[in-house]
Amino acid sequence: MCELLGMSANVPTDICFSFSGLVQRGGRTGPHVDGWGITFYEGKGCRTFKDPVACAQSQIAKLVQEYPIKSCAVVSHIRQANRGSVALENTHPFTRELWGRYWTFAHNGQLTDYESLDVGRFVPVGQTDSERSFCWLLNQLEKQFPFFPEKPESLFQVLATLCNELMQLGVFNMLLSDGEYLITYCTTNLHCITRRAPFGQAKLIDDDVTIDFQQETTPNDVVTVIATQPLTNNEQWQKMDRGELKIFRFGEQLFAITTEEKEQGA
């Protein structure tokens, strides 16, 4: 399956270290050779780099590794195709506008019976189950919320229920962001780590690279990284639960909703 990488930070931060680890899994240490992409938010805008080739061999990926774009929210994906051809239009992340915000989405997993999902005005460009599920999510949210709610908690509660519906169709691990919030949902594998003072060293699993975050940060920095599998071997990553939705804002976890427990207790 594909792999995901996301970041939420309280100050503009580059993701070069974590992305360098992910790149190796795109054709060198992993089988994810069918494309890759990454989206950086800058204020209300975002910039996306994509390439429908193996990340480890991509010159565009090399540029992103070496060019320290600083952002408070990042969504990235490396692809192992199972739905849709290997093509640029099927390469994650996908971005759409809703409520005057750019929403970016990446998915790991495989869904069945997804063709009938009602997408409304959010028409998929490619053929993947991922893009169609994203369009369906936005359509459902727009039906329930004509405007971005004053209390976003209500939006997140609905989103948790919608993600649980998609989980019934197969494996649905997700990253979703509007640049302010980074929303994660786990079916099988998602791990997260929050780095804050006192910072230490971290060593990549997939490459012989070590970084001393104390030299790269200030005492006030808070950075959360989300990945399908841990990217470092000397830090304590937290594995998310099945059916768990977590919301991060500027590095901090706001709250978590475990959908399966919620459904059982209903």
The yes-or-no answer on residue 163 being catalytic is no
Output the pLDDT for position 80: 82
- What string of pLDDT tens digits covers the 266 residues of the chain? 789 999 999 999 999 999 999 988 888 888 888 899 999 999 999 999 999 999 989 999 999 988 889 999 999 999 887 787 889 999 999 999 999 999 999 999 999 999 999 999 999 999 999 999 999 999 999 999 999 999 999 999 999 999 999 999 999 999 999 999 999 999 999 999 999 999 989 999 988 899 999 888 889 999 999 999 999 999 999 999 999 999 999 999 998 998 664 444 33
Structure token pair of residue 234:
């000397």
Q: Provide the number of structural domains found in the chain.
A: 1
The tokens for 75 are 């969504």
- pLDDT, residue 154, reads 95
Residue type, 238: Q
The pLDDT, as a whole number, for residue 12 is 95
**pLDDT at 260 (0 to 100):** 60
Domain range for 90: 3-265
Identify the CATH number of the domain in which residue 194 sits. Answer: 3.60.20.10
* b/e per residue 78-96 (b: at least 16 CB within 10 A): bbbbebbeeeeebbbbbbb
Q: Of 266, 265, 182, which Cα lies nearest the Cα of 223?
A: 182
Supply the pLDDT for residue 262. Answer: 45
- pTM of the prediction? 0.94
Cα gap 248→62, rounded to integer Å: 28
Sheet holding 252-258, edge to edge: 94-98, 101-108, 173-177, 181-186, 244-249, 252-258
